[in-house]
Structure 1
Amino acid sequence: MKRGLVLGKFMPLHNGHIALIDFALNRCDELIVLVSASYDEPIAAKQRLEWIEEAYKNNGKVIPRLLIYDEAVLPNTSESLEGVSKLWANYLKEHLPPIDVIFASEAYGAYMGRFLNCEHVIFDEPRKIVPVSATQIRNDPFTFWDFLPDVVKPYYTLKICLYGTESTGKTTLTQRLVEHFNTVAIPEMAREILEHTNKCTEQHLLQIAQLHAGAINEKIKQANKLLFVDTDINITRSYSKFLFNKELIVPEWIETANDFDLYLYLDEDASYVQDGTRLTEADRNKLNESHKQELISRGINYVLIKGNDWEERFKKAVEVVNEFIKQKKR
Structure 2
Amino acid sequence: MRYAHGLVIGKFYPPHAGHHHLIDTAAEACARVSVVVAASTVESIPLALRTAWLREVHRQPHVEVFPAVDDAEMDFESDEIWAAHVAAFRAGLAMRSGLGVPVPPVDAVFTSEAYGPELAGRFSAAHVAVDPPRDRFPVSGTAVREDPVANWEFLSPPVRAYLARRVAVVGAESTGTTTLARALAAHYAAKGGVWAATRWVPEYGRTYTEEKLAAARRAAGDPSLWLDDLVWEPAEFLRIAERHAALEDAAARSGSPLLVCDTDAFATAVWHERYVGTPAPEVEAVHERVPHHLWILTSPEGVPFEQDGWRDGESIRPWMTGRLREELAKRDLPHITVAGPHEHRLAAAVAATDALLAGGWTFSEPLKP
User: What TM-score, normalized by structure 2, do the two folds share?
Assistant: 0.80
Match for residue 76 of structure 1? 74
Equivalent pair of 2:51/2:67 in contact (CA under 8 Å): yes
What are structure 2's unaligned runs of at least 5 residues?
94-102, 190-197, 211-225, 363-369
Cα distance, 1:23–1:311 mapped onto 2, change above 3 Å: same
Match for residue 21 of structure 1? 23
Write out per-residue CA displacement over residues 303-328 of structure 1, whole angstroms, 9 at most, x where no aligned residue.
11121x11221122122211210112
Match for residue 222 of structure 2? none
Matched, 1:264 2:296: yes
Match for residue 184 of structure 1? 199
Q: Could you say which structure has the greater relative contact order, defined with CA pairs below 8 angstroms and 6 or more residues apart?
A: 2
The residue type equivalent to 1:24 in the other structure is A
Q: CA deviation at 1:29?
A: 1.0
Match for residue 53 of structure 1? 55
Secondary structure of the residue that 1:281 maps to in structure 2? coil
Cα distance, 1:201–1:294 mapped onto 2, change above 3 Å: farther
What are structure 1's unaligned runs of at least 5 residues?
none
Alignment of 1:34-45 (within 5 A): 34-45=36-47
Equivalent pair of 2:297/2:325 in contact (CA under 8 Å): no
Secondary structure of the residue that 1:102 maps to in structure 2? strand
The residue type equivalent to 2:310 in the other structure is T
Matched, 1:298 2:331: yes
Secondary structure of the residue that 1:26 maps to in structure 2? helix
Alignment of 1:1-330 (within 5 A): 2-57=4-59, 59-71=60-72, 75-77=73-75, 80-81=76-77, 83=79, 84-89=81-86, 92=89, 96=93, 97=103, 98-182=105-189, 183-195=198-210, 198-199=228-229, 201-203=231-233, 204-250=236-282, 254-272=286-304, 273-307=306-340, 309-328=341-360
Match for residue 219 of structure 2? none
- Distance in 2 between residues matched to 1:37 and 1:217, nearest whole Å: 25
Cα distance, 1:301–1:88 mapped onto 2, change above 3 Å: closer
User: What TM-score, normalized by structure 1, do the two folds share?
Assistant: 0.89
Secondary structure of the residue that 1:317 maps to in structure 2? helix
Secondary structure of the residue that 2:315 maps to in structure 1? helix
The residue type equivalent to 1:61 in the other structure is H
Cα distance, 1:274–1:93 mapped onto 2, change above 3 Å: closer
- Distance in 2 between residues matched to 1:232 and 1:313, nearest whole Å: 19
Q: CA deviation at 1:216?
A: 2.3
The residue type equivalent to 2:206 in the other structure is R
Cα distance, 1:151–1:237 mapped onto 2, change above 3 Å: closer
Write out per-residue CA displacement over residues 256-279 of structure 1, whole angstroms, 9 at most, x where no aligned residue.
454311111111202222222223
- Distance in 2 between residues matched to 1:244 and 1:268, nearest whole Å: 23
The residue type equivalent to 1:30 in the other structure is R
Equivalent pair of 1:234/1:295 in contact (CA under 8 Å): no
Equivalent pair of 1:93/1:116 in contact (CA under 8 Å): no
Cα distance, 1:166–1:56 mapped onto 2, change above 3 Å: same
- Distance in 1 between residues matched to 2:242 and 2:230, nearest whole Å: 15
Cα distance, 1:313–1:128 mapped onto 2, change above 3 Å: same
- Distance in 1 between residues matched to 2:87 and 2:327, nearest whole Å: 56
**Greater CA deviation, 135-144 or 95-104?**
95-104
Equivalent pair of 2:26/2:33 in contact (CA under 8 Å): yes
Q: CA deviation at 1:99?
A: 0.8
The residue type equivalent to 1:55 in the other structure is V
Q: CA deviation at 1:241?
A: 2.4
Aligned residues: 323
- Distance in 1 between residues matched to 2:318 and 2:307, nearest whole Å: 13
